Structure 1
Amino acid sequence: MFHHHDHFNELLHPEFLRIERKRVGIILGLFIIGTLILPVLHYLAPSLLRNFLNQEQFIGSLVFWWVLFCVFELGVYFRLGYAIKNNIQIPKRILIINILVEFGLPAIVLYNAVKFDYSLLILEYDGLLFYFLLLMLSAMHLDFKVSVGAGFLAGIGYFSVAFWGINYLQTEQDVAQLKEIYTMRSVGLVVGGLVAGVVAHEIKKRVNNYLNSMEEQKEIESLLGQQLSKGVANELIVHRNETIGHKVVGSIMFLDIRNFTVMADHQSPEETIEFQNAIFDPLIRIIEKNNGIIHQILGDGFMASFGIAVKNENHAKDSLNAGLEIMEAINHLRTDQNGSTTKVGIGLHSGEVITGNIGNEIRKQFSIAGKNVILASRIEQLNKTFKTQFLVSRQFVDMLNCKGCFTDLGEVQVKGFDDQVHIYQVGENCSCKEN
């Protein structure tokens, strides 16, 4: 974040480095354009740039300082790029040196121009224009103090060259009037720096607000990511203001840990939580590995979906693979209760569901609903009837080009449904997992 009380030793935010790099790039661009245009103008209109461009001594001095400045700015530009790419932090005091160089060069160029041209004409337009361009760009520092300081540097530089030039040339013009004019212009540069500082401060406030909102969103995503799957968290954020549901085709999985209630009654709360974490940790990883999303984690199971919150044409295959991997993982887990093997019940079904954010401004939940969600839950419960661990529907089987690993258990009357449902058992050695 850009802090309201900046210190030269504070580390610059990466976003600030990007803005500073862009500012330096603009100055380099202006210098390159000026370098290309200046000789052309001198060739086409020699009298426009007066005689000092015909003096080799001045040209040599100008080229020296011009090249030195460009090399310095290129070094700053690439150094900032390297820091951004490699996430290297840079203190603000290092960038202050760049400001001193940027506002020191015009004074040197103006000094040489006045000396070799033996005229104050360069101060009338070119010098002021150059300083004002730098002052406008100083606002990109997003620092009020820096812009005000730049204004003072510009004013002092212009004022010093002007008063030196008046004394050096010993002009016959009204010296008092000239000094008054150049003093007012110098004050104008200081005021320009003040205005740039105000603009920079306002921009900084908005950048701060933007960065704060980004940090808050990251915190929300992180918090939601701990409570929900990433896909669900993203759906809640992206569609948080939507009240209209969507119809989506996907696969729904219900999983239940068998005899969990009895087991919990014989364990301490610490043992129960430890057991739940030991069970759910590998299962959650398996679901996410296979592009699935867990919507709800209950005490003894969860509901997951594939291809619903995040579109996936291979949702049926991914959900089957997830179920088979869960069975394999469960076979390696044992409880401390009587040393018996942990068992689960899994139900899988594919079909159209309704998705949306359900709730109010206090609490919302990304929900999937519809008869196919209920049917998937009923299929999981049928494992108790068939004394199995993994059942799927015919609609699910029909979506896969793999029939060999399913055992047909026939049609079953399911509570809440008029039509019977065709049920299949999934074999633990199902070859579809590798297809």
Structure 2
Amino acid sequence: MFNHHHQRFNESLHIEFLKIERKRVGIILGLFVLGSLVIPVAHYLAPNLLRNYLNQDQYGLSLLVWWLVFCLFQLGVYFRLSRAIKNNIDVPKRIIILNLFVEFVLPAIVLYHVVKYDYSLLILEYDGLIFYFLLLMLSAMHLEFKISLGAGILAGTGYFTVAFWGLKYLQPDTDVDQLLEIYTMRSIGLFIAGIVAGVVASEIKKRVNNYLGSIEEQKEIESLLGQQLSKGVANELIVHRNKTIGHKVVGSIMFLDIRNFTVMADHQSPEETIEFQNAIFDPLIRIIEKNNGIIHQILGDGFMASFGIAVKNENHAKDSLSAGLEIMEAINHLRTDQNGSTTKVGIGLHSGEVITGNIGNEIRKQFSIAGKNVILASRIEQLNKTFKTQFLVSRQFVDMLNCKGCFTDLGEVQVKGFDDQVHIYQVGESCSCKEN
């Protein structure tokens, strides 16, 4: 049990709580600076209002010393918090508790000196209570019920101790028992104020924790989705996670297939297969994202990517062509096995209108693109086997580009599942359209 409390005492505070604590200390410093300016002016303008105790050298010096000690301590705490926030340094909770203790011990010391040198309990009627209540209200900014409760205990104890000592020291002619009862009730009031501040602080902390937790959860979801999906798809899923109705978007769709992957995998160990896939997909994924595209699905032997669909992009055709050409260039530098056989791929590109949306149920959803143009892009990729090519595009895709010189017309082809023939072009590896 002791170890548990020791750990709680030394646990590090979240940076957001450090910012709140710094602001609280800053408010107290501001009030002290304001008080330092107001008190001398008020004494000068209305000396009888403050009586004559500020003219007593011993009292003035004593009050000044304690005043400076408190201000310097608070300044030290403020700058340490600022440094910790700026440099992301851990600050244990014990620093905050120590600061709290000093904050509530100082008023008792000041009240003691005022009662002693002014020879009056008048300070306990107004200024002392106001100062304590002000500190108790600010203690709620600690966002910790126990800290505010401790502040209430310190405030009530400090106020009652000075009042009890003052009655013994001054021995006033009035009803001492009645005054003691009044001061006791005020001390209890300070204690209750600490409880109220603690309840408020606890509620605020709960809401702050919920907010911070939601931010951390959002970042974790984005991180996890970013590892499984392209960033564009991940953001689309998060932003439109509750939407199930699709919408139509014009963009470019790319299908890529690694040739003879199944045969290759049959002759490799699982470790070798995964290593090969990572070696192939790592540069290709980077190329897709570099050219403003996103990966929707990664299959064992290929993927489907889109440009200008999840993330709007007027230059989707040019970007997708650039990605395809860079993929061809990257593939030429890759090998499939120790025998040095060149890796072969098939790429199909098509532009047109597709339907997008989050498909699935409450358990699992997937951002998907659908429609005949997605199927056509897949069929175009498969035509590479018929033409013994690696990179084919449709006429609709070519028509979206100003550059025509790097495409070889292969004529119209009957595509499975489509009534009309599709005009197909082969992309040359030396195509310079991406530079225009």
Partner residue of 2:171? 170
How far has the Cα of 1:84 moved from its partner? 1.9
The reply to whether residue 248 of structure 1 matches residue 258 of structure 2 is no
How far has the Cα of 1:129 moved from its partner? 1.4
Q: CA-to-partner distance for each residue in 1:87-109, whole Å, 9 max, x for gaps? A: 21111112222112211222233
How far has the Cα of 1:301 moved from its partner? 0.6
How far has the Cα of 1:281 moved from its partner? 1.8
Larger CA deviation: 381-390 vs 407-416 = 407-416
Contact 1:250 1:315 in 2 (8 A): yes
Partner residue of 1:197? 198
Q: Distance in 1 between matches of 2:313 and 2:63?
A: 64
1:51-62 to 2 correspondence within 5 Å?
A: 51-53=52-54, 58-62=59-63
Partner residue of 2:92? 91
Paired AA for residue 264 in structure 1: A
The reply to whether residue 142 of structure 1 matches residue 143 of structure 2 is yes
How far has the Cα of 1:45 moved from its partner? 5.5
Q: CA-to-partner distance for each residue in 1:398-429, whole Å, 9 max, x for gaps? A: 43343333333334333333444333322222
How far has the Cα of 1:296 moved from its partner? 0.4
Partner residue of 1:184? 185
Q: CA-to-partner distance for each residue in 1:163-200, whole Å, 9 max, x for gaps? A: 23223333222122111211221122122222322333
Contact 1:263 1:337 in 2 (8 A): no
Q: Distance in 1 between matches of 2:31 and 2:395?
A: 70
How far has the Cα of 1:342 moved from its partner? 0.8
Can you give the 5+ residue segments of structure 2 that lack an aligned partner in the other structure? none
Question: Alpha carbons of 1:329 and 1:116: their partners in 2 closer, same or farther (altered >3 Å)?
Answer: same
With normalisation by structure 1, the TM-score equals 0.90
Contact 1:236 1:366 in 2 (8 A): yes
Partner residue of 2:390? 389
Contact 1:69 1:105 in 2 (8 A): yes
Q: Distance in 1 between matches of 2:36 and 2:312?
A: 54
With normalisation by structure 2, the TM-score equals 0.89
Contact 1:139 1:147 in 2 (8 A): yes
Q: CA-to-partner distance for each residue in 1:65-120, whole Å, 9 max, x for gaps? A: 33443333233223212212222111111222211221122223323333343322
Paired AA for residue 428 in structure 1: E
Paired AA for residue 166 in structure 1: L
Q: Distance in 2 between matches of 1:351 and 1:71?
A: 70
Larger CA deviation: 360-369 vs 131-140 = 131-140
1:285-324 to 2 correspondence within 5 Å?
A: 285-324=286-325
How far has the Cα of 1:366 moved from its partner? 0.6
How far has the Cα of 1:345 moved from its partner? 0.8
Contact 1:292 1:305 in 2 (8 A): yes
Partner residue of 1:359? 360
Question: Alpha carbons of 1:350 and 1:116: their partners in 2 closer, same or farther (altered >3 Å)?
Answer: farther
How far has the Cα of 1:315 moved from its partner? 2.6
Contact 1:132 1:192 in 2 (8 A): yes
Contact 1:250 1:305 in 2 (8 A): yes
Q: Distance in 2 between matches of 1:398 and 1:67?
A: 79
Partner residue of 1:119? 120
Larger CA deviation: 254-263 vs 40-49 = 40-49
Q: Distance in 2 between matches of 1:373 and 1:178?
A: 88
- Partner SS state of residue 310, structure 2: coil
Q: CA-to-partner distance for each residue in 1:368-405, whole Å, 9 max, x for gaps? A: 11222222222212222222111223333343343333
Partner residue of 2:111? 110
Q: Distance in 1 between matches of 2:49 and 2:432?
A: 85
How many residue pairs align between the two structures?
A: 433
Q: Distance in 2 between matches of 1:41 and 1:262?
A: 94
Q: Distance in 2 between matches of 1:238 and 1:22?
A: 34
Q: Distance in 2 between matches of 1:314 and 1:56?
A: 81
Partner residue of 2:78? 77
Partner residue of 1:335? 336
Q: Distance in 1 between matches of 2:176 and 2:73?
A: 38
Larger CA deviation: 387-396 vs 181-190 = 387-396
- Partner SS state of residue 423, structure 2: strand
Paired AA for residue 274 in structure 1: E
Larger CA deviation: 353-362 vs 100-109 = 100-109
Identity %: 86
Q: Distance in 2 between matches of 1:245 and 1:58?
A: 78
Paired AA for residue 340 in structure 1: S
Q: CA-to-partner distance for each residue in 1:47-82, whole Å, 9 max, x for gaps? A: 554444565665554444334433332332232122
Question: Alpha carbons of 1:394 and 1:192: their partners in 2 closer, same or farther (altered >3 Å)?
Answer: same
How far has the Cα of 1:316 moved from its partner? 2.6
Question: Alpha carbons of 1:47 and 1:349: their partners in 2 closer, same or farther (altered >3 Å)?
Answer: farther
Paired AA for residue 301 in structure 2: D
Question: Alpha carbons of 1:63 and 1:404: their partners in 2 closer, same or farther (altered >3 Å)?
Answer: farther
- Partner SS state of residue 7, structure 1: helix
Larger CA deviation: 125-134 vs 384-393 = 384-393
Partner residue of 2:132? 131
Paired AA for residue 17 in structure 2: F
1:35-54 to 2 correspondence within 5 Å?
A: 35-38=36-39, 47-53=48-54
Contact 1:252 1:350 in 2 (8 A): yes
Q: Distance in 2 between matches of 1:398 and 1:53?
A: 90
Q: Distance in 2 between matches of 1:151 and 1:85?
A: 32
How far has the Cα of 1:150 moved from its partner? 1.2
Larger CA deviation: 96-105 vs 334-343 = 334-343
How far has the Cα of 1:6 moved from its partner? 6.6
Q: Distance in 2 between matches of 1:6 and 1:133?
A: 30
Can you give the 5+ residue segments of structure 1 that lack an aligned partner in the other structure? none
Larger CA deviation: 241-250 vs 5-14 = 5-14
Paired AA for residue 180 in structure 1: E
